[in-house]
Amino acid sequence: MTFNHKENEDKQKKPFSVREWLFGMSFDRKIFWLGLLMALICGAGWFFYPHISSLLGITECRFKQVTGFYCPGCGGTRAVKALLSGHIIKAIIYHPFVPYCLFMWIIYEGSHILEMLHVPKIKGMKFENAYAYFGIYIIFINWILKNFILFLLNHS
């Protein structure tokens, strides 16, 4: 068995390359960084939302004003406000996709952060397609169910 010292030396001397770092990491780690980026964008959007909405004139769901039915995202803002107040059950009733996203984000990002900190016996969560499919099912089922209840409420 021979050891290739030259290869190890070459690896140590190689300068850091952003491109290699970006394309060399695993798919799960890429999703981790994407999750951090999305959280940053959502946080910035939530921070600037009161200022933006007054400029754009958003007061109510435009989709509901025009069609009379809820859009797939109706109740999302209320769900975020309920979560920030600590009312998890209320947030689930308003829009279950929001607490689902928050729960998955905490678990996924937390496990990868712990792995990067070399906490023993902790491995970063693997991304499964089922997580995305389940989120999409939640959006559609919530949309159809809420509109069905609204229809019954206004036509009974």
Alpha-helical (H) ranges within 3-26 are: 5-13, 18-24
Query: Does residue 71 belong to the site contacting another protein (CB under 8 A)?
Result: yes
Which residue from 8, 54, 67, 85 is in contact with another protein, where contact means CB under 8 A? 67
CB nearer to another protein: give 42 or 119: 42
Query: Does residue 72 belong to the site contacting another protein (CB under 8 A)?
Result: yes
Which amino acid, 128?
E
Q: Which stretch binds another protein (CB under 8 A): 11-19, 108-116, 117-125, 133-141?
A: 133-141
Least Å distance, CB 31 to another protein, is 8
* Contacts of residue 44, Cβ cutoff 8 Å, sequence gap at least 6: none
Contact between 105 and 112 under an 8 Å Cβ cutoff? The reply is: no
* Contacts of residue 29, Cβ cutoff 8 Å, sequence gap at least 6: 112, 124
- Taking CB under 8 A as the rule, which mask of x and - marks residues 79-98 in contact with another protein? -----------x--xx--x-
Query: Does residue 112 belong to the site contacting another protein (CB under 8 A)?
Result: no
Query: Does residue 27 belong to the site contacting another protein (CB under 8 A)?
Result: yes
Distance CA 99, CA 76 (A): 10
DSSP summary character for residue 69: S
- C-alpha dist (Å) from residue 23 to 26, 57, 79: 8, 42, 36
Q: Which stretch binds another protein (CB under 8 A): 7-15, 70-78, 105-113, 116-124?
A: 70-78
CB nearer to another protein: give 89 or 117: 89
